[in-house]
Amino acid sequence: MIIDASMKKIFGVLLALAACSMSMQATPDTTRTDGAWRYMPKFNGTFRGFFQQSTVKSESRFTVANARLCAGGYVLPWLDYLVQVDFCAAGKIRLMDAYATVTPMQGLKVILGQTRVPFSVEASRAPHLYYFTDVSLTADFGNLRSVGIKAGYKTKGVPLYFEGGIFNSADMVDHNVWNRALTYGVKANYTAGYGLRPEVAFMSRVPGGTGNGIRVNQWNASLSWTYGRFFAEGEYIYRHYTGDSHKPSHAYNFFVDYGIPVNWRMADKLSFQARLDGISDASNGIRQSDGTLATTIDGHRRITAGATASRTVGKLYCAFRLNYEQYFYGHTENTAIATENSMLVAGLIFHF
C-alpha cells in the first residue's frame, strides 16, 4: 500500500540513524564508582480503586482499576530495561510493557519490545497522572500497546521531541501471529513559552493484522496550557477508514484543573476539575462476514465534574478523588457500551 511504503521509508531512515550512532562511545554515569547503579533494579507501583454508583440504574460496584507493578534498571550505561504488569486491570492480569532501551547518543533512544504506540497525549499518561477517575473517551482511539521497535529523539537546545515506530497489528497478548500489515505511529511535541505545549501525531493500522481488517488512519492534535495553579488541555482525533468502508469518526477532550495548597493531615493540595469529552459513531475496523464494517462504538458525549485532595512526598503520591459523570447518547444505547452510564465515582489513587 502507498501508506505502508512511505512509512517504511521514514522509519527505515530513523532506525538506520540509530544503528549508525551506536558505534559512538557512551558516557557512563560516574556517580557510583563501584558500578552497582547499573544492575540494581528500581521498582514502582500504582493502585487505583473506586466505588461507582449509577444514577441511571439502581446498581453499584467496587472495582480495582489498576494494581500495577513496574521493575526496571540498567544493564550497561547505554542499555536499560522495563517490565510492567497490571495484576488487576478491572479484574484481569495484563502484561503492559516489556522492553529494552538503547541510548546510543545523548538525546536519542531506541526501544525494542512491547510498549505503547506513540499517539495521543491523554492516552500516553500513566494512570496515576489522570486528572479524573477514568481516562478520556479519546483513549478509545489512542490507547494502543503492541510489540515492535520505536525511536525517540530530543533536540539539543530546543524543547522539541520526535518519536516514531513500527509495530505488530496483532493483539499484544499474542506475539506469534504473522502480520500481513503493520502498525505505524509518529508524534512530535514542543514545549513553548507561556506554558504552552502543542503535540501532533499520526497512526495507521489494520486491526488484527491478519488481512481481515480495514486500514484505519488517525490524525491527532492537542494543546496544553499551564498558568500558575491553572492547567487546561484540549485534544482532537480524526479517524478515517480506507475504501469509504465507514464514515469518518471523531473524538475530542477538553478539560481544566485548578489547584490550591492546603495544610491537611492527608493532603497538601485541593484541586477541582471539569471535563467535556465525546466520540462519534466508530468501528473497530474488523470486517463482518459480508465484508462490511459495523459500528461498534455508539456516539456519545460526557460532562464530568470532580474534586481531588492529594498529597505528594518526594516521588510518593496519594489522592482521594470524587467525580460525577453525565453521559449523553444521540440514539439507542449500544450493548457494547451498556455499562457506560451516568454515575458518581469515589476512589483512592496512590503511586510509589
What is the DSSP secondary-structure string of 74-122?
Answer: EEETTEEEEEEEEEEETTEEEEEEEEEEEEEETTEEEEEEEEE-S--TT
pLDDT band at 196 (very low <50, low <70, confident <90, very high): very high
User: Does residue 316 surpass a pLDDT of 60?
Assistant: yes
> CB of 198 within 8 A of CB of 219?
no
CA distance 241 to 279: 16
Max CA separation in the chain (angstroms): 66
pLDDT tens by residue, 155-169: 998 999 999 999 999
Instruction: Name the β-bridge partners of 197.
Output: 224
- Number of residues written out for the chain: 352
Q: What is the pLDDT of residue 13?
A: 41
3-state secondary structure of 7: helix
Q: Bigger pLDDT: 257 or 289?
A: 257
Each residue's pLDDT tens digit, 287-299: 888 888 999 999 9
Q: What is the pLDDT of residue 19?
A: 42
The 3-class SS string of 137-166 reads CCHHHHCCEEEEEEEEEECCCCCEEEEEEE
What pTM value is reported for the model? 0.86
∠ Cα 285 287 291 (to 5°): 140
Give the residue from 202, 168, 194 showing the smallest Cα distance to 182: 168
For 204-248, how does the pLDDT look when each residue is reduced to its tens digit (9 = 90+)?
999 987 777 899 999 999 999 999 999 999 999 999 999 889 999
**Cell triple for 339:** 455499562
Question: Which tens digit of pLDDT belongs to each residue from 88-99?
Answer: 999 999 999 999
> What tens digit of pLDDT does each residue of 100-152 get?
999 999 999 999 999 999 999 999 999 999 999 999 999 999 999 999 999 99
Mean pLDDT computed over 317-333:
87
pLDDT band for 170, please (50, 70, 90 cuts).
Answer: confident
CB 89 within 8 A of CB 65: yes
The per-residue pLDDT for 138 is 96
Say yes or no to pLDDT of 8 above 70: no
> Percentage of the chain with pLDDT > 90?
75
Beta-carbon contacts of 78 under 8 Å, excluding residues fewer than 6 positions away, are 26, 102, 103, 104
pLDDT (tens digit, 9 = 90+) per residue, 10-69?
445 444 434 433 333 334 444 444 555 567 899 999 999 999 999 998 899 999 999 999
Question: What tens digit of pLDDT does each residue of 299-314 get?
Answer: 999 999 999 999 999 9
What is the rounded CA–CA span in Å between residue 184 and residue 47?
Answer: 31
Question: Residues with Cβ < 8 Å from 295, sequence gap 6 or more?
Answer: 246, 281, 282, 283, 334
